[in-house]
Amino acid sequence: MSVKIQGKGPLRGEVSVPGDKSVSHRAVIFGALAEGRTEIEGFLFGEDCLSTVSCMRQLGAAVHVNGETVSVDGVGLTGLKEPENILDAGNSGTTARLLLGVLAGQPFYTVLTGDGSLRRRPMSRVTKPLLQMGAAISGRAGGTLLPLSVQGSHLTPTTYTSPVASAQVKSAVLLAGLFAEGETTVTEPEKSRDHTERMLAAFGAAVDVRGNSVTVTGRPKLQGRTVRVPGDISSAAFFLIAASIVPGSDLLVRNVGINPTRTGILDVLTEMGADMEYINTRDESGEPVADIRVKAAPLRGVEIGGEIIPRLIDELPVLAVAALFAKGETVVRDAAELRVKETDRIAAMTEELSSLGADIEARDDGFIIRGGRMLTGGSVKSHDDHRVAMSLCIAALGAGITVDLDSPDCIAISYPSFLETIKTLGSGLQEWDK
């Protein structure tokens, strides 16, 4: 299957972005570990979050879907049961890594696997601290790649300093810490997204945040609650950038989660000269949310690296697209993590954007882009990575060219209605060969 995207002109009107992927995963996992019912409003029905739902069901939690609302009947911290079959996290790193933290503390045996991409992604960053806590985990490549088997055991609390700024690592250790008696602390080099800290505290756990360190006290009583999932800023980013680069655009992007650990993309776009206005800033279930009105504006290149990188890591592929339309050079450093995402996103974006005529150079830890080159239409590959696929669609809109995108199915991982939305905006879905 392939899809033809043709840049057709201004984006006008409004877009409501789907629920946040990170928050949706956590609401299901924490709801399952809590007592009583958790109602999740605005849940993201993307394939990744559905992988979490299916794993939690296999572990004994009752997860119901009523129209747009998902409800979870929690089994309590000690109520999960041994699954009869292998758990499959599909394409979802968050499912795999957070669940490893949970499974490490269960009095039973589990095997966890994932799709071809996830089976290549590093798990040692999570298994290392879990082994330190007393977990018994084994598998391929010395127990560092999925499939992994986990013989849950009695965990001891730990103090762990992670070499990478990763919310998945931090969350896995904190989740394991829930099953250990005493305090478990994780420190990271830069602050990664903090949805786990916020939501665990809202469910009743004692969570203490000091700088880049988080401490959780084990064996809390978690209480089910209503969670309103904010719109995903990582999904909003595609339209914020599309409207910025397509001349004449004026778009209202509704319901964007603006948690400060996620808003690196807004900071960078502002520095690049984007015209964005925040309207109706509010709080939903402990997460800040706003509507953002964005109008086309001339952009300029930027240099980024350091602490901002974890705050926009998932937006770097589409930021590369924005940079193609900016005046001057954009340099991204300190982003080697991109090489171990669903695909090597540095290699994939460099290969595909170069094939359209872009001036982009890959670096070990990022890329350099010189904006202002004329792009030409052609065939591009998604590399089965949802964010690469959507970024290439935005390049087509920005350049007013036709791009034939191979294997776009992966878009359903995080934004199942993305192509429909492009079509509704009238900005360019030409043909959709299913």
Active site residues: 314
Smallest distance from the beta carbon of 87 to ligand S3P, in angstroms? 18
Our CB check for ligand S3P shows the closer of 101 and 428 to be: 101
Which of 24, 71, 91, 94 lies at the binding interface for ligand S3P (CB under 6 A)?
94
105 phi/psi in degrees, rounded to 5 = -100, 10
Residue 314 touches ligand S3P, criterion: CB under 6 A: yes
Q: Is 166 in the site for ligand S3P (CB under 6 A)?
A: yes
* C-alpha span between 177 and 108 (Å, rounded): 17
- Distance in Å, CB of 356 to ligand S3P, minimum: 25
Beta bridge partners of 253: 15, 292
Alpha-carbon distance of 7 to 246, in angstroms, equals 9
- Contacting residues for 27 by C-beta, under 8 A, at least 6 apart: 38, 40, 43, 70, 72, 199, 227, 229
Nearer to ligand S3P, 155 or 167 (CB): 167
Among residues 3, 4, 8, 12, which one has the least CA distance to residue 399?
8
Pair of tokens at residue 334: 């300190």
Question: Which residues between 22 and 51 bind ligand S3P (CB under 6 A)?
Answer: 22
CA distance 281 to 286: 13
Select from 4-12, 161-169, 284-292, 395-403 the region that touches ligand S3P (CB under 6 A).
Answer: 161-169
Q: Is 232 in the site for ligand S3P (CB under 6 A)?
A: no
Which of 51, 95, 117, 168 forms a contact with ligand S3P (CB under 6 A)?
168
> 55 vs 243, which CB is nearer to ligand S3P?
55
Q: Residue 150 burial (CB < 10 Å; 0-12/13-18/19+)?
A: buried
Q: Which H or E run includes 111?
A: strand 109-113
Q: How far apart are CA 351 and CA 320, in angstroms?
A: 12
In the complex, least distance from residue 57 CB atom to ligand S3P, rounded to whole angstroms: 20
Instruction: Judge whether 55 and 87 are in contact, CB under 8 Å.
Output: yes
Amino acid letter, residue 181: E
Residues of this chain, 326-355, that bind ligand S3P according to CB under 6 A: 337
> Under rule CB under 6 A, how many of the chain's residues touch ligand S3P?
12
Contact status: 421 vs ligand S3P (CB under 6 A): no
Establish if 382 lies at the interface with ligand S3P (CB under 6 A).
Answer: no
Minimum CB distance to ligand S3P smaller for 22 or for 235: 22
313: contact with ligand S3P by CB under 6 A? yes
Nearer to ligand S3P, 326 or 388 (CB): 388
**Rule CB under 6 A: is residue 172 a binding residue for ligand S3P?**
no
In terms of CB distance, is 20 or 291 closer to ligand S3P?
20
Nearest CA among 363, 370, 324 for reference residue 347: 363
Nearest-approach distance from CB 430 to ligand S3P, in angstroms = 29
Near ligand S3P by CB under 6 A, which window of 50-58, 108-116, 163-171, 235-243?
A: 163-171
What is the rounded CA–CA span in Å between residue 301 and residue 263? 18
Which amino acid, one-letter code, is at 327? K
Select 168 or 330, whichever has its Cβ closest to ligand S3P. 168
Task: Give the interface segment with ligand S3P, choosing from 31-39, 160-168, 199-207, 351-359 (CB under 6 A).
Answer: 160-168
Residue recorded with tokens 């509010």? 282
Helix (H) or strand (E) holding 396: helix 386-399
Separation between Cα atoms, residue 63 and residue 54, nearest integer Å? 9
Footprint of ligand S3P (CB under 6 A): 22, 93-94, 166-168, 171, 192-193, 313-314, 337
